[in-house]
Amino acid sequence: MAAPHEDLLALRSEFPILERTTYLINNSLGAMPRAVHDDLATFAREWEERGVRAWHEGWWEMAVTTGDLLAPLLGVRPGSIAMHQNVAVAMALFLSAVDYTPARNRIVYTELNFPNVMYLLQGEQRKGAEIVVVPSDDGIGVPTERLLAAIDERTRLVPISHTLFRSAFVQDAEAIARRCRKVGAILLLDVYQSAGVMPLELEAWGAHAAVGGSVKWLCGGPGAGFLWVSPEIADTLEPAFTGWMADEEPFAFRPGAIHYAHGAWRFLTGTPNIPALYSCRAGYKIIAGVGAKKIRERSLALTSYLIDLAVDAGFEVRTPRDPKHRGGTVSVWHPEAERLCRELIARDVLCDYRPNAGIRLSPHFYNTEAELERAISTLKELAA
């Protein structure tokens, strides 16, 4: 069975590394679009030729205008996404606007959250937060009902991964948002493993905020993380982690307390990372141009095929079979997965290994069935 939207394979020529490797590592570092060369050259030319004038010719607004390119992929309105270096910074900034009372001090998340994020959340205990970690039975997912039951009137914040990095299990964001709203908690979704490989409707689902970044499915490279805050709550938040770009009159250079700007500007800090904002745009434009719905349809067909190939070859798959709960990655387990992963990479089948998950194989819209067959037949040979 051919995966749908084969017309997308015409875009393979936009990603030079696809000519040289079997590129199945899109959960980690999406392929670089060739247009990034031109975009970075534009940055260098502007710096060289326009010098300081470049700030007034687009650079100053770039942390928000670049976020606008993502708005359709996240299902949010323009002017509500602030670009930051990475998820850790974006999340720390959001957390700096959250306080806790003895009656409402719980942070509820699952044990399968990305550890980077947990490290920050653990730090919230210094502000009086109590951490509640919802366990998983199988290391693949957490039953939605169990997570919903842990969210109650004592819950202040529910910061969870939409798609889990180990297994690609997709949480039911809409049901979790409904529960958070019912009890008055804030839902902060980490959409890093979802953005660019499936449609997101953050506003319609009722999420309050989201963080993510560009290195994976958005093919945008490092240094371009993002924070979305729903316009519904944005202007009620006062981040302590802030800077002059978040002031409504930064060039007034007023001493004393900040006068917060509105919308995404309120969630900026100091001088933005302009080169990273140039390098992420080509990927965003290609992904948004194709559309997340089309990408999701192709991705689901490719991951189904990959699961069948892996199971037929005798491997255990640690990713949900149910398409509703499956992201873009297929985790293939073997007791020697770490060695096998190294050997696959040595044969130019690019993938990665994570403890308890195994080998993560992640086709994007530009991959073919033949590449999946090559990956699994090589893996089978190496395991024999």
Ligand X SMILES: Cc1ncc(COP(=O)(O)O)c(C=O)c1O
Asked if 65 is part of the footprint of ligand X (rule: CB under 6 A), the reply reads: no
Instruction: State which of residues 190, 247, 352, 371 lies at the interface with ligand X (CB under 6 A).
Output: 190
Instruction: State which of residues 24, 73, 87, 92 lies at the interface with ligand X (CB under 6 A).
Output: 87
C-beta of 212: minimal distance to ligand X in Å?
7
Instruction: State which of residues 66, 193, 279, 303 lies at the interface with ligand X (CB under 6 A).
Output: 193
Instruction: State which of residues 8, 11, 40, 88 lies at the interface with ligand X (CB under 6 A).
Output: 88
C-beta of 201: minimal distance to ligand X in Å?
19
CA 159, chain centre distance (Å): 13
Structure tokens that stand for 163 in this block = 């798609």
Asked if 328 is part of the footprint of ligand X (rule: CB under 6 A), the reply reads: no
Identity of residue 195: A
The interface region with ligand X, picked from 83-91, 168-176, 235-243, 248-256 by CB under 6 A, is: 83-91
The residue among 165 and 315 lying less far from ligand X, judged by its C-beta, is 165
Torsion of CA 347, 353, 359, 361, to 10 degrees: -70
Structure tokens that stand for 59 in this block = 């650079």
The interface region with ligand X, picked from 51-59, 110-118, 237-245, 362-370 by CB under 6 A, is: 110-118
Asked if 221 is part of the footprint of ligand X (rule: CB under 6 A), the reply reads: no
Asked if 116 is part of the footprint of ligand X (rule: CB under 6 A), the reply reads: yes
Pairing label, strands 225-229, 155-161: unpaired
C-beta of 328: minimal distance to ligand X in Å?
12
Instruction: State which of residues 141, 206, 225, 250 lies at the interface with ligand X (CB under 6 A).
Output: 225
Identity of residue 24: L
- Measured from each CB, the residue nearest to ligand X is 86
How far apart CA 150 and CA 152 sit, in angstroms, is 6
The residue among 185 and 191 lying less far from ligand X, judged by its C-beta, is 191
x/- track of binding to ligand X for residues 142-181 (CB under 6 A)? -------------------x---x----------------
Instruction: Give me Rg for the CA atoms of the chain.
Output: 21
C-beta of 181: minimal distance to ligand X in Å?
23
The residue among 142 and 382 lying less far from ligand X, judged by its C-beta, is 142
Asked if 81 is part of the footprint of ligand X (rule: CB under 6 A), the reply reads: no
The interface region with ligand X, picked from 31-39, 189-197, 266-274, 279-287 by CB under 6 A, is: 189-197
State which of positions 345-364 bind ligand X (CB under 6 A). Answer: none
C-beta of 109: minimal distance to ligand X in Å?
12
Instruction: State which of residues 192, 217, 265, 365 lies at the interface with ligand X (CB under 6 A).
Output: 192
Site for ligand X, rule CB under 6 A: 86-88, 114, 116-117, 161, 165, 190, 192-193, 213, 225
